[in-house]
Structure 1
Amino acid sequence: MTDVVLDGVEKVYPGGLTAVRKVRLRINDGELFVLLGPSGCGKSTILRMIAGLEEITSGDLWLNGSVANDLTPRERNVAMVFQEGALYPHRTVKGNMMFPLEVSGGDRAEASAKVVELARALGLNTMIDRLPGTLSGGQRQRAAIGRALIREPSLFLMDEPLSSLDAGLRTELRVEIAALVRSSRTTTVYVTHDQVEAMTMADRMAVLRDGVLEDVGTPEQIYEDPATVFVAAFLSSPPMNLLQARLWAVEGEGLLLDLGPQRLTIPWDDPRASSLISHHGQMVIAGIRPDTLVPIAPGSPARPGTVLSGQVHGLEFHGHEWLAYAQAGIPTVDANEFGRPRPAPAMAAAQPGLRDRLRGMLGRPSREPGRAEEHAGHHRRSDLIFRANPGQRPNRGDHVALTVDLDRMLLFGADGRRVTPVQR
């Protein structure tokens, strides 16, 4: 059993590329911990540094209370499973699973019995004498997991082990893997870019972007109480509505969210009011998930300051529900534009960026040199996305009024971080 601590760990490659930026993280003994983030965010680099396959540029890695920066992979007693199982093609399933025990020089009869027992737990007992080339992708991954677990490592590392499998098999295997590693009580670090895998498997999880740790907590904590707008959007499916607003404190009314053509009002007795009042006159981002927008039946009353409206222009059928897209005239923002690490200052005069070149091609004026944009994001399509039951879906062209569950609305500042306290 092992606990893992990353104390200011950083990875900088030759040429100055920083893949991981001062990550501080604790993974508890026996925990199934998931590193989640988009491609290139540094999650696999962290895994490889824990394994000893990648050198740490600065900071310390602690394994079970001791600094492990200079330990070899063998000395760290870790086992790793990659995206592809990488089995020995000339060895049977049993031969592959036996290999670590043969190398360690243990009793062969005892090792064979151990392999048979683990193969039964993995559902491989009927194919234990088959070669990898005759197995399906899921069976090969099970065999690779068995080979890693058989030697009873102190730490189990999994780098996107299900990403090459089809959707149905991923669903089946993620349940099996989670149950297996929990039953073994082996500390496990699991890397994935799949939000569903992370949310369904993790005891706790960390969300990374551009090598920076954005948030850490249980899946429920991070979903309900995200620290940044990027985390909120990344864990929202269907996509979260991210609406640009200006916040005004209005005596006798409450905190007014000016969304351009529409308004929402947070009452003064809302627990968030004391934190929000300091943002009077500032631009904020209102994060509203589609399931917190409820269509109002014509003629039904609604509390003032809790309603947004728009015209439906798109519908998607998802079997158990419809997703509706309504044009509301409210400027929306892209979560990816907020809170990114600032690049090092250029030594020479900056060349026009991609966005400026595209603006020129489209006949749109670029920003004036030295003039900052009013907000950190940029406009995308002015839509509201909401859910509708199959028997109650609107039609294209309908005008709809939607009640907003203000208690579940999330508010972020221009830096992309929550403007109200995050509870952990």
Structure 2
Amino acid sequence: MTDVVLDGVNKVYPGDQHAVRDLGLRIRDGELFVLLGPSGCGKSTVLRMIAGLEEITSGDLWLGGTMANELPPRERNVAMVFQNGALYPHRSVRGNMMFPLEVSKDDPAGARGKVVELARALGLDSMLDRLPGTLSGGQRQRVAMGRALIREPSVFLMDEPLSSLDAGLRAELRVEIAALVRATGATTVYVTHDQVEAMTMADRIAVLRDGILEDVGTPEQIYHDPATVFVAAFLSSPPINLLRATAWAVQDQGVILELGPHQLRLPWDDPRATGLISHHGRPIIVGLRADALTTVTGPAHGPELTGQVRTLEFHGHEWLAYAEAGIALVDAHDVAPERAAVPAAAHQLGLGDRMRAMLGRPVNDPDPGPEHTGHHRRTDLIFRITTGDRPARGDQVRLSVDLDRLLVFSPDGRRVDPVRR
């Protein structure tokens, strides 16, 4: 059994630069575990600490039940593949793959047999005598993987191995890599900033931001049930709609979500409503993915939002529409526990003003919140449309809201209702 446990791990560089903060993770034996996040979030630093290439500032690292903080890299039985492959240019494919076995003084005849067998699995058997300079980028990465896997490591570490390849080759290789590492049974930690790679390859994903663990779970869990605004936005293509709202707890109705000129209602038997009681009269963030909004033309049969189509985008397999709805949007980059950025909303005379008057607050003077100062974005709702019901630019549209897929976050970006894991 080779599981990897990081217990309260910190990495601080000179100048008090915190690359990783109090990280706690358990990566299970044989799991393909993906560390996902934007550049500079600390994911490669975590990988290098596991490999022994970076010293841990504080906290504990366990490999297969053994404390590994002080173990030198050669005694950790880990293998690592880097972004550029790092092959020996003067050695052939066979020589590169054979090198780890030569260092460990394996039987030469047995080593040659292992190289041929693994090369066949990697589709390299016809290239064994070629030099790296004559190979394509994808072929060089296969050789790098072969050189790492031939040692039969307990833990296999991959640091953005596909990021320098074109999109088509990345799609092909991510399927091959996932199948190969699962066939070996090695515990694998894979670093990427690409949400598609993470979602398609991982058994579980950990999302990092500024060295802090934001969420961990299966791809389905963190997509449908994200713990924070940042996770919801990072795992979203097209971008998720993050909407400024105010929550009002009304005894006989449930919780009313006021979104500018619009209102949505969560009944009291909805678990999200219970979590919103403590946010009564205060700003929150509502998340709606593009496919949670559907255009309707007939009688209303549920909650709706309305807007005017500003632009349309054709993506081959689908159309996306952008509609101005008068709802202030939130930029996920500006939302964090220490800097909750919720843009000011243009409130109209309605439920919010009546409730503020009841609370003794001035009409049209909502609770003050940090102003939106980050990335500029128009106040558009993004939604998917099919060819048959495609509106034209300038059309007024009604959008049915799938309340089951509505996400509710506090102003600091954390989920209001419990995350299910």
Structures share a fold, TM > 0.5? yes
User: Is the Cα–Cα contact under 8 Å of residues 3 and 63 in structure 2 kept in the other structure?
Assistant: yes
Residue 412 of structure 1 pairs with residue 398 of structure 2: no
SS at 2:139 equivalent: helix
| 1:14 partner letter | P
**1:336-415 correspondence to structure 2 within 5 Å:** 336-339=333-336, 374-375=369-370, 377-378=372-373, 380-415=377-412
How far off is 1:373 after superposition? 5.7
User: Is the Cα–Cα contact under 8 Å of residues 320 and 389 in structure 1 kept in the other structure?
Assistant: no
User: Is the Cα–Cα contact under 8 Å of residues 338 and 412 in structure 2 kept in the other structure?
Assistant: no
How far off is 1:420 after superposition? 0.1
| 1:120 partner letter | R
Q: Which residue of 1 aligns with 2:45?
A: 45
SS at 2:89 equivalent: coil
Residue 137 of structure 1 pairs with residue 137 of structure 2: yes
| 2:369 partner letter | E
How far off is 1:380 after superposition? 3.5
**1:115-154 correspondence to structure 2 within 5 Å:** 115-154=115-154
Q: Which residue of 2 aligns with 1:352?
A: none
**1:17-32 correspondence to structure 2 within 5 Å:** 17-32=17-32
Query: How far apart, CA to CA, are the structure 2 residues paired with 1:77 and 1:101?
Result: 13
Query: How far apart, CA to CA, are the structure 1 residues paired with 2:247 and 2:214?
Result: 25
How far off is 1:375 after superposition? 4.0
SS at 1:272 equivalent: helix
Cα distance per residue 1:105-152 (max 9 Å; x no partner): 111111001000000000111111111111000000000000000011
Q: Which residue of 2 aligns with 1:367?
A: none
User: Is the Cα–Cα contact under 8 Å of residues 375 and 414 in structure 1 kept in the other structure?
Assistant: no
Q: Which residue of 1 aligns with 2:229?
A: 229
SS at 1:403 equivalent: strand
Query: How far apart, CA to CA, are the structure 2 residues paired with 1:54 and 1:114?
Result: 31
CA distance 1:411–1:377, shift in 2 (3 Å) = farther
User: Is the Cα–Cα contact under 8 Å of residues 92 and 132 in structure 2 kept in the other structure?
Assistant: yes
Query: How far apart, CA to CA, are the structure 2 residues paired with 1:107 and 1:341?
Result: 58
Query: How far apart, CA to CA, are the structure 1 residues paired with 2:73 and 2:321?
Result: 51
Query: How far apart, CA to CA, are the structure 1 residues paired with 2:9 and 2:387?
Result: 50
Residue 255 of structure 1 pairs with residue 287 of structure 2: no
Q: Which residue of 1 aligns with 2:282?
A: 282
Query: How far apart, CA to CA, are the structure 1 residues paired with 2:182 and 2:371?
Result: 42
- RMSD over aligned Cα, in angstroms? 1.3
Cα distance per residue 1:79-128 (max 9 Å; x no partner): 00000011111111111000000111111111001000000000111111
Cα distance per residue 1:270-304 (max 9 Å; x no partner): 2322222222111110000000000002x33232x
Residue 307 of structure 1 pairs with residue 304 of structure 2: yes
SS at 2:129 equivalent: coil
Cα distance per residue 1:316-337 (max 9 Å; x no partner): 0011110000001100001111
User: Is the Cα–Cα contact under 8 Å of residues 154 and 187 in structure 1 kept in the other structure?
Assistant: yes
Query: How far apart, CA to CA, are the structure 2 residues paired with 1:75 and 1:182?
Result: 23
SS at 2:388 equivalent: helix
User: Is the Cα–Cα contact under 8 Å of residues 283 and 375 in structure 1 kept in the other structure?
Assistant: no
User: Is the Cα–Cα contact under 8 Å of residues 87 and 96 in structure 1 kept in the other structure?
Assistant: yes
Using the size of structure 2 for normalisation, the TM-score is 0.91
270-279 or 36-45, which deviates more = 270-279
Cα distance per residue 1:203-258 (max 9 Å; x no partner): 11100000000001111111111000000010011000000000001122221111
Structure 2 spans left out of the alignment, 5+ residues: 340-366
Query: How far apart, CA to CA, are the structure 2 residues paired with 1:280 and 1:308?
Result: 22
Query: How far apart, CA to CA, are the structure 2 residues paired with 1:24 and 1:252?
Result: 43
Using the size of structure 1 for normalisation, the TM-score is 0.90
User: Is the Cα–Cα contact under 8 Å of residues 272 and 416 in structure 2 kept in the other structure?
Assistant: no
| 1:300 partner letter | P
**1:104-183 correspondence to structure 2 within 5 Å:** 104-183=104-183
Q: Which residue of 2 aligns with 1:316?
A: 313
| 2:407 partner letter | L
| 1:374 partner letter | G
Q: Which residue of 1 aligns with 2:75?
A: 75
SS at 2:161 equivalent: coil
262-271 or 307-316, which deviates more = 262-271
User: Is the Cα–Cα contact under 8 Å of residues 249 and 277 in structure 1 kept in the other structure?
Assistant: yes
| 2:137 partner letter | G
| 2:299 partner letter | S
Residue 55 of structure 1 pairs with residue 51 of structure 2: no
Query: How far apart, CA to CA, are the structure 1 residues paired with 2:414 and 2:304?
Result: 25
SS at 2:271 equivalent: coil
User: Is the Cα–Cα contact under 8 Å of residues 79 and 153 in structure 1 kept in the other structure?
Assistant: yes
Residue 190 of structure 1 pairs with residue 190 of structure 2: yes
Q: Which residue of 2 aligns with 1:268?
A: 268
How far off is 1:377 after superposition? 4.9
Cα distance per residue 1:358-414 (max 9 Å; x no partner): xxxxxxxxxxxxxx9614755742110000012321110000000000111000001
User: Is the Cα–Cα contact under 8 Å of residues 156 and 186 in structure 1 kept in the other structure?
Assistant: yes
Query: How far apart, CA to CA, are the structure 2 residues paired with 1:330 and 1:423?
Result: 29
Q: Which residue of 1 aligns with 2:35?
A: 35
Identity of aligned residues (%): 73
SS at 1:127 equivalent: coil
Q: Which residue of 1 aligns with 2:328?
A: 331
How far off is 1:340 after superposition? 5.3
User: Is the Cα–Cα contact under 8 Å of residues 331 and 380 in structure 1 kept in the other structure?
Assistant: no
Query: How far apart, CA to CA, are the structure 1 residues paired with 2:301 and 2:159?
Result: 49
User: Is the Cα–Cα contact under 8 Å of residues 293 and 402 in structure 2 kept in the other structure?
Assistant: yes
CA distance 1:316–1:86, shift in 2 (3 Å) = same
How far off is 1:66 after superposition? 1.5
Query: How far apart, CA to CA, are the structure 1 residues paired with 2:257 and 2:18?
Result: 38
User: Is the Cα–Cα contact under 8 Å of residues 20 and 46 in structure 2 kept in the other structure?
Assistant: yes
Query: How far apart, CA to CA, are the structure 2 residues paired with 1:271 and 1:68?
Result: 43
| 1:15 partner letter | G
Query: How far apart, CA to CA, are the structure 1 residues paired with 2:16 and 2:185?
Result: 39
